[in-house]
């Protein structure tokens, strides 16, 4: 609920700072503020009910003067959502339910803590009160995503109150475009979308390109399945992205910007639209930004459900109303891009880094990270991991630390098997290589890549052949279909991998996969095709024995590939409790009487594994 609304657009740096001052003065930093995550992840876990409950409770008890409510974007600890933080102390409550709210309110205004909602450290058994002491957060360096908890993304006033748009003011009035580009170059910032291209150099090329009309694009088509960093930035702090884009546009000399948001992120679209509207109201976008004589407008364009549109030339084709077909990039898009004009495209997280660099300086920024990879990176840590969520760490942190110290290791005491980085274009990193610093070049050396930041953790129950089949299947469905090696090649790789997982693999299959891979890498038109073989090649490289088990022995060691596994009842362990009978979706298990083992009809069994999952006595065997 916006209480303040501006009457006249700001037309000078002084006016901006004056508004900021007044906003800060009007806020009481000691007033209790209940911060609730309203990002897509927590909403999926029922945060809406929690939010409604808080609103009702505060209203009914007439506590508006004592307690503020702030609905924010994603702070990253998704595994424990819905998340509630009581500020200013930063007391963290996790897995909050609507029913907990009356107690939370009562105890909070008394200055007490609701013990049972605190996070318990699984290693020590200790209850942890403060957000920053939770192991998940401790090793992170949350320069970018940290702000999500401090603002309501639907209120530009919150962003201004934490110093937002100060970098823009500095860029417009205290720096020249060339100086801004120098800072960007000196900072060492590399693209966060996957390409890792030096941002300053890209900006410089675009500035120098011939043409009066230059376009500035923000790529929010986060297509890597398992990656949601951009979603939470666009939902949780759209102004940080806008600010970055305006600074970049000013440096490059572009006056029209586009934010291309994938169709599957409706909340991000809404919040970005609102942010643009509010920025325009304040004179931070549109004609004569902050009175600087610089004009810049941003339009939002939505994707239609196509991973390939994350590729810059395909994205630009889509922005022109055409199908998302990539083009060969012998002439770079910074020279001929959207509508054949010089175009600078950067990823969401890249843009969000820009205000930080301008505000604190390139020297400060370049001291974070490694020689070749500066700054921090937000990763989405998902899959078979205890602490699923978004983590922001300095480049160069050890991969092992991310998985164990921050991620809390593998659930159920299972053994780590591999971590997939870089999405469908990346590769699987096995345990033997876990001790590596996370940076662009190190990940490349290991045969994988940084990509946009997805980290999918896998355990002993993940079949690596199935993973390869999954990625090829995904890419096959997303291929635009233009070029022969990708369209036909992925189809054939899919056929071979499916045969292998169904026990129809033949000698020579792996060699054929490798030959096909070589052609896709050498001949595909765009990076979707050229990187598609990576998951296959890395799984063959590091898990060859699994492939051989499938092909030669017709066996799936991880117990995943349906055609190659059988579920059996261990008659000695089964007490006939019938839990599995209830779980079976096709009534393949029959009750034989109390204390007698149940009988599983193999003909009816569809290998769904529900009985195996539900049996607590290990009486269902999977072979």
Partner 1 sequence: MKVRDNQIQQRVEPILARYQRDQGLLVSVLQDIQAEYNYLPKEALVQVSQGLDIPLSQVYSVATFFKAFSLKPRGRHLINVCVGTACHVRGAVRILEEIERELNIKPRETTKDFKYTLETVNCVGACALGPIVIVDEKYSGQMKSNKVKPLLEGHG
Partner 2 sequence: MVTLTIDGREVQAEEGVTVLEAARENNIYIPSLCYHEEVAPYGACRLCLVEIAKNGRQRLVTSCLYQVEEGLIVKTNSERIIDNRRMIMELLLARCPNNKVIQDLAKQLGVEKTSFKLEDNQCILCALCVRVCQEVVGVSAISLVNRGVDRQMATPFYEHSEACIGCGSCAYVCPTDAINFEDVGDTRIITMPNSKLEFKLKKCKTCGKYWAPERQLDYIIKKVNLASDAFDNCPDCRD
Residues 466-495 that bind partner 1 (CB under 8 A): 467, 470-471, 474, 477-478, 480
Binding partner selected for residue 470 from partner 1, partner 2, none, CB under the kind-specific 5 to 8 Å limit: partner 1
Q: Is 423 in the site for partner 1 (CB under 8 A)?
A: yes
Per CB under 8 A, the list member of 88, 122, 266, 361 interacting with partner 1 is 266
At 345 the three-state DSSP class reads: strand
- Residue 94 token pair: 């996790």
Binding partner selected for residue 319 from partner 1, partner 2, none, CB under the kind-specific 5 to 8 Å limit: partner 1
Per CB under 8 A, the list member of 11, 90, 498, 519 interacting with partner 2 is 519
Our CB check for partner 2 shows the closer of 307 and 365 to be 307
Q: Which CA distances in Å does 137 have to 128, 146, 457?
A: 12, 10, 19
At 603 the three-state DSSP class reads: coil
- Residue 301 token pair: 């364009």
Residue window 446-465: x/- pattern of binding to partner 1, with contact defined by CB under 8 A: --------x-x-x---x---
Q: Are 550 and 561 in contact (CB under 8 A)?
A: yes
In sequence order, which ranges of 339-423 are alpha helices (DSSP H)? 348-360, 362-366, 399-401
Q: Is 44 in the site for partner 2 (CB under 8 A)?
A: no
Q: Is 597 in the site for partner 1 (CB under 8 A)?
A: no
Q: Are 598 and 580 in contact (CB under 8 A)?
A: yes
Q: Is 525 in the site for partner 2 (CB under 8 A)?
A: yes
Q: Is 476 in the site for partner 2 (CB under 8 A)?
A: yes
Count of residues in contact with partner 2, rule CB under 8 A: 31
Radius of gyration, alpha carbons of the chain? 26
Q: Which stretch binds partner 1 (CB under 8 A): 124-132, 377-385, 434-442, 549-557?
A: 377-385
Q: Which CA distances in Å does 522 have to 491, 501, 533?
A: 17, 27, 11
Q: Is 497 in the site for partner 1 (CB under 8 A)?
A: no
Give bridge partners of residue 380 from the DSSP assignment.
Answer: 390, 454
Closest separation in Å from C-beta 462 to partner 1: 6
Binding partner selected for residue 492 from partner 1, partner 2, none, CB under the kind-specific 5 to 8 Å limit: partner 2
Our CB check for partner 1 shows the closer of 467 and 526 to be 467
HSE at residue 440, side-chain half, CA atoms within 13 A, is 20
Q: Is 492 in the site for partner 2 (CB under 8 A)?
A: yes
Q: Are 92 and 128 in contact (CB under 8 A)?
A: yes
Binding partner selected for residue 485 from partner 2, partner 1, none, CB under the kind-specific 5 to 8 Å limit: partner 2
Pairing of strands 215-220, 343-347: parallel
Which of these, 379, 406, 455, 437, lies nearest to 137 by C-alpha position? 406
Residue window 201-240: x/- pattern of binding to partner 1, with contact defined by CB under 8 A: ---------------------xxxxxxx--xx--------
Which of these, 310, 311, 317, 308, lies nearest to 338 by C-alpha position? 317
**C-alpha span between 177 and 165 (Å, rounded):** 17
Q: Which stretch binds partner 2 (CB under 8 A): 23-31, 36-44, 274-282, 479-487?
A: 479-487
Count of residues in contact with partner 1, rule CB under 8 A: 65
Pairing of strands 376-383, 215-220: unpaired
3-state per-residue secondary structure call for 543-554:
CHHHHHHHHHCC
Residues 25-84 that bind partner 1 (CB under 8 A): 40-41, 43-45, 78-79, 81
Binding partner selected for residue 454 from partner 1, partner 2, none, CB under the kind-specific 5 to 8 Å limit: partner 1
Binding partner selected for residue 483 from partner 2, partner 1, none, CB under the kind-specific 5 to 8 Å limit: partner 2
Q: Is 263 in the site for partner 2 (CB under 8 A)?
A: no
H/E stretch holding 42 reads helix 40-44
Q: Are 119 and 209 in contact (CB under 8 A)?
A: no
> Where on the chain is the footprint of partner 2 (CB under 8 A)?
306, 323, 327-328, 330, 476-485, 487-492, 495, 512, 515-516, 518-519, 522-525
């Amino acid at each position: 609920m916006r209480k303040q609304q501006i009457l006249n657009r700001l037309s000078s740096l002084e006016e901006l700072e004056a508004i900021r001052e007044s906003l800060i003065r009007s806020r009481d930093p000691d007033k209790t503020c209940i911060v609730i995550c309203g990002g897509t992840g927590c909403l999926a876990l029922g945060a809406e009910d929690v939010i409604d409950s808080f609103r009702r409770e505060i209203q009914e008890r007439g506590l508006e003067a004592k307690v503020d409510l702030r609905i924010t974007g994603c702070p990253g600890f998704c595994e424990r959502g819905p998340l509630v933080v009581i500020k200013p102390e930063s007391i963290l409550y996790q897995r909050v339910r609507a029913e907990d709210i009356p107690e939370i309110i009562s105890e909070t205004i008394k200055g007490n803590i609701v013990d049972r909602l605190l996070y318990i450290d699984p290693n020590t058994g200790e209850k942890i009160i403060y957000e920053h002491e939770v192991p998940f957060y401790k090793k992170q360096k949350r320069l970018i995503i940290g702000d999500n908890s401090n603002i309501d993304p639907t209120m530009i006033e919150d962003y201004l109150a934490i110093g937002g748009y100060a970098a823009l003011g500095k860029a417009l009035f205290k720096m020249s475009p060339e100086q801004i580009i120098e800072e960007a170059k000196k900072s060492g910032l590399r693209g966060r979308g996957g390409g890792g291209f030096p941002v300053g150099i890209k900006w410089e090329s675009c500035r120098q390109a011939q043409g009066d009309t230059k376009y500035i694009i923000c790529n929010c088509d986060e297509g890597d399945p398992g990656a949601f960093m951009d979603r939470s930035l666009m939902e949780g702090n759209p102004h940080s992205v806008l600010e970055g884009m305006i600074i970049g546009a000013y440096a490059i000399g572009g006056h029209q910007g586009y934010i291309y948001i994938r169709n599957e992120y409706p909340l991000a679209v809404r919040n970005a639209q609102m942010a643009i509207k509010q920025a325009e109201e304040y004179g931070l976008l549109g004609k004569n930004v902050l009175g600087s004589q610089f004009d810049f407008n941003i339009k939002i364009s939505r994707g239609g459900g196509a991973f390939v549109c994350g590729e810059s030339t395909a994205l630009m084709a889509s922005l022109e109303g055409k199908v998302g077909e990539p083009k060969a990039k012998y002439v770079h898009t910074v020279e001929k891009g959207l509508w054949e004009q010089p175009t600078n495209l950067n990823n969401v997280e890249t843009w969000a880094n820009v205000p930080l660099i301008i505000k604190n300086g390139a020297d400060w920024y370049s001291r974070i990270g490694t020689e070749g990879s500066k700054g921090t990176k937000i990763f989405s840590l998902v899959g078979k991991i205890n602490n699923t969520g978004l983590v922001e760490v300095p480049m160069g942190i050890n991969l092992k630390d991310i998985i164990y110290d921050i991620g809390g290791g593998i659930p159920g005491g299972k053994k780590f098997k591999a971590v997939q980085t870089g999405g469908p274009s990346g590769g699987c990193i096995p345990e033997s290589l876990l001790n590596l610093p996370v940076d662009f070049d190190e990940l490349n050396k290991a045969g994988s890549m940084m990509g946009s930041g997805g980290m999918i953790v896998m355990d002993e129950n993940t079949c690596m052949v199935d993973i390869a089949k999954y990625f090829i299947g995904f890419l096959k469905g997303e291929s635009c279909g233009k070029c022969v090696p990708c369209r036909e090649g992925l189809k054939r790789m899919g056929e071979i991998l499916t045969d292998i997982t169904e026990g129809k693999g033949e000698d020579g299959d792996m060699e054929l996969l490798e030959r096909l891979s070589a052609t896709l890498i050498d001949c595909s038109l765009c990076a979707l095709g050229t990187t598609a073989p990576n998951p296959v090649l890395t799984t063959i490289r590091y898990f060859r024995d699994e492939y051989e088990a499938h092909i030669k022995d017709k066996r799936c060691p991880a117990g995943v590939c349906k055609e190659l596994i059988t579920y059996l009842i261990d008659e000695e362990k089964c007490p006939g409790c019938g839990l599995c009978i209830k779980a079976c979706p096709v009534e393949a298990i029959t009750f034989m009487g109390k204390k007698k083992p149940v009988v599983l009809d193999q003909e009816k069994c569809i290998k769904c594994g529900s009985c195996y999952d539900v049996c607590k006595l290990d009486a269902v065997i999977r072979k």
